[in-house]
Amino acid sequence: MEILIAADRIHQRVVELAEQIERDYQSRPVMIVGVLTGCLVFLADLIRRLDLPVRIHLVQASSYRGTATSAGALQLRADTLPDLAGREVLIVDDILDTGQTLARVIETIRGRGAAHIRVAVLLRKKERLIAPVEADYVGFDIPDEFVVGYGLDYNDEYRHLPHIAVLREP
Ligand code: 5GP
Ligand code: MG
């Protein structure tokens, strides 16, 4: 598989994002909501660079993605989320593609009373975006290719790769 973003570039960028997040929150408490399963590696690396009072919660989004290119109906499980009244929330996800997943997550978190919501994604495919979602922190803009690694899967495989690779369908 062709490596699109090497592990050391990812680490360097995660450090920069953490610095940007620290500057923006200015020591205020932040409730991080990670979107499983893709956020797993990014979230773990990012939170260890944050010198802020942080709480962490997880929601589960799955889109029954059958093939690399088409996503099916979205299922969102957010029943473990606490009351977010008055909280500043930072949503962390792996990739902003069409934006439908994050649009739903944002709507759900707003419904729990969050005072302020920001979004951090490792990757963004700008040309695929259709939902009105803006990410406040973006690791890398990438072309419209299906990628795996650093948390991102194909058929639940490849999440453990330390880099981002392009998966071309056979
Ligand atoms: P969206 O709702 O923005 O279209 O899709 C977001 C979700 O689809 C991501 O959180 C991720 O799980 C999955 N996804 C979108 N593009 C890719 C990709 O290139 N590779 C992988 N592995 N998953 C993707
Ligand atoms: Mg995801």
Say what percent of the chain tops pLDDT 90.
Answer: 86
Specify burial of residue 84 (Cβ count, 10 A radius: 0-12, 13-18, 19+).
buried
Q: Is 161 in the pocket of ligand 1 (CB under 6 A)?
A: no
Q: Which atom of ligand 1 is nearest to the CA of 152?
A: 22
Q: Which atom of ligand 1 is nearest to the CA of 98?
A: 4
Q: Is 99 in the pocket of ligand 1 (CB under 6 A)?
A: yes
CA dihedral 66, 59, 12, 123 (to 10 degrees): 40
User: For 74-92, how does the pLDDT look when each residue is reduced to its tens digit (9 = 90+)?
Assistant: 889 988 899 999 999 999 9
Residue 68 has pLDDT above 80, yes or no: no
Nearest CA to ligand 1 atom 15: 97
Distance CA 40, CA 119 (A): 15
Distance CA 55, CA 134 (A): 23
pTM of the model: 0.94
User: For 151-162, how does the pLDDT look when each residue is reduced to its tens digit (9 = 90+)?
Assistant: 999 999 999 999
DSSP 128: G
Residue 63 has pLDDT above 80, yes or no: no
CATH of domain 7-143: 3.40.50.2020
Q: Please provide the average confidence, as pLDDT, over all residues in the chain.
A: 93
Q: Is 146 in the pocket of ligand 1 (CB under 6 A)?
A: yes
Residues classed as catalytic: 97
Distance CA 20, CA 136 (A): 10
* Collapsed DSSP state (helix, strand, coil) of residue 145: coil
User: For 17-34, how does the pLDDT look when each residue is reduced to its tens digit (9 = 90+)?
Assistant: 999 999 999 999 999 999
State residue 165's pLDDT score: 98
Q: What's the pLDDT band for 35 if we cut at 50, 70, 90?
A: very high
State residue 6's pLDDT score: 98
State residue 73's pLDDT score: 78
State residue 72's pLDDT score: 65
